[in-house]
Amino acid sequence: MSWPVHPLSEICDISMGQAPVGSSYNRNDDGYALIAGAGDFGDFTPTPKKFSSAPTKISIVNDLILCIRATIGELNWSDKEYCLGRGVAGLRPDKALLNRDYLWYYIKANKSQLSEKGTGSTFKQVSKAIIGEWEIPLPPLPEQKRIAAILDKADGIRRKRQQAIDLADEFLLATFLDMFGDPFNNIMGFPKMRLDSFGSVFTGNTPSRSEKKYYGDYIDWIKSNNIHESSLYVSRAKEFLSAEGAAIGRTVPSGSILVTCIAGSRDSIGNIALTDRPVAFNQQINALVPNDTDKTLFIYQQLNLHKELVRERAIGVTTGQVNKTTFSSIELLDPPEEMVVDFTRRISQLNMLFPQFKDSTRGINECFNSLQHKAFAGEL
């Protein structure tokens, strides 16, 4: 089925954000909560950090707040009035023509179309004209609502699966704290040992880009964006190395620990994930291959619980870098072996389920993406 397409400017009011006067910024709840960019976004509604007593552009309830710089296309709902900074725009659909939930899911599914039109050398951004020219298929309003309702149910299933994974990860942390306490305070007085005494440390690298033979489909080539705080394991890579590339790159087996040690933001330093398959990885990451696999989860949870062990060693003010030597010298708790074995035993069954959770989540995401494609192609 083919539906007519309309430029977004014909069916939606677009309000570009504008930075307030610097003197109006505050953290005292004075004025309107400020949304400067995607850094102030939550899962669905904003989580602002600053306020402005002299707002310039303001959203209203049920507006869509669109990120227009750097992470172009990210979305949040406006659950109240917000001050819109220059990194976002407010979208207010014409209720007679465009359903807001339909627009939400359409942008979510097709944000790459908008991102590709971004311009700029440091941070890409899109203008009001570019947003307004974006053409959107427009079925009748009842059909828009039907499509949005179907996608909302499917998205709910997807989010519940992720919540189950998050709860399982929280259980791992709670079990660690119960048995060993906070590794920062070490109130139980456990001895400590250097990280490289627990296993072999490696720094990743990037095979020459000029040699196309090094890239293919042989092994995942993991980057820092494959290491997520909300996931125990590294995500599937978007780029792969060939067997030749893997031979000159850095590879580690399943059960290794990857830590982000170079990043544009210090907040990303110390992010950690396990490998559930052999992977190659780039120079932003240091890896530990444990000598004793029974201690893998124990080491992981220590580093995950106290990322400052890595971050405090980063060189740089705004960005950060922790080299292999410095990373290797980090000291971790070294409690009696029987305690570590008991910890691993307690959580091993749950850990065995994580790959199943991940495979299930990947399948659900693929189904949801397929459903979105069919929805906006008029095939539902």
Residue range 149-201, pLDDT digits in tens: 999 888 887 777 777 667 766 777 788 888 888 888 888 999 999 999 999 99
Contacts 24+ apart (CB under 8 A), 367-370: 367/154, 368/151, 368/154, 368/155, 368/158, 369/109
Q: What is the pLDDT of residue 362?
A: 64
Q: What is the pLDDT of residue 134?
A: 96
Measured distance CA(273)–CA(352) in Å, rounded: 15
Closest by CA position to 255, among listed 313, 296, 211, 200: 296
Closest by CA position to 13, among listed 117, 97, 102, 138: 97
Under a CB-based contact definition with an 8 Å cutoff, are residues 31 and 52 in contact?
Answer: yes
- The Cα-based distances of 334 to 239, 307, 324, 343, 350 in angstroms read 37, 17, 21, 13, 23
Q: What is the pLDDT of residue 353?
A: 57
With vertex at residue 278, the alpha carbon angle to CA 343 and CA 321, rounded to the nearest 5 degrees, is 80
CATH (residue range 5-138): 3.90.220.20
With vertex at residue 206, the alpha carbon angle to CA 205 and CA 209, rounded to the nearest 5 degrees, is 165
Residue 288, strand partner residues: 201, 257
296 CB-side CA count, 13 A: 23
- Locate the domains of the chain by residue range: 5-138, 181-335
**Sequence-ordered list of residues with C-beta below 8 angstroms from that of 238, at least 6 positions apart, any chain:** none
Measured distance CA(170)–CA(231) in Å, rounded: 11
What is the gyration radius of the CA atoms in the chain, in angstroms?
24
Measured distance CA(267)–CA(273) in Å, rounded: 15
Measured distance CA(63)–CA(61) in Å, rounded: 6
Tell me, what amino acid is at 227? I
Structure-block tokens of residue 365: 């995401």
* 181-335 is classed CATH 3.90.1200.10: no
Measured distance CA(16)–CA(344) in Å, rounded: 52
Q: What is the three-state SS of the chain?
A: CCCCEEEHHHHEEEEECCCCCHHHEECCCCCEEEECCHHHCCCCCCCCCEEECCCCCECCCCCEEEECECCCCCEEECCCCCEECCCEEEEEECCCCCCHHHHHHHHHHHHHHHHCCCECCCCCECCHHHHHHCEEECCCHHHHHHHHHHHHHHHHHHHHHHHHHHHHHHHHHHHHHHHHCCCCCCCCCCCEEEHHHCEEEEECCCCCCCCHHHEEEEEEEECHHHCCCCCCECCCCCCEECHHHHHHCCEECCCCEEEECEECCHHHCCCEEECCCCEEECCCEEEEEECCHHHHHHHHHHHHHCCHHHHCCCECCCCEECCHHHHHCCEEECCCHHHHHHHHHHHHHHHHHHHHHHHHHHHHHHHHHHHHHHHHCCCC
Domains 5-138 and 181-335 share a fold: yes
**Spans of the chain below 70 pLDDT:** 1, 122, 164-165, 168-169, 229-230, 265, 316-319, 348-364, 368
Measured distance CA(241)–CA(208) in Å, rounded: 11
Under a CB-based contact definition with an 8 Å cutoff, are residues 88 and 65 in contact?
Answer: yes
Under a CB-based contact definition with an 8 Å cutoff, are residues 282 and 249 in contact?
Answer: no
Per-residue pLDDT of 6-31, as tens digits, reads 999 999 999 999 999 989 999 999 99
Residue 125, strand partner residues: 69, 119
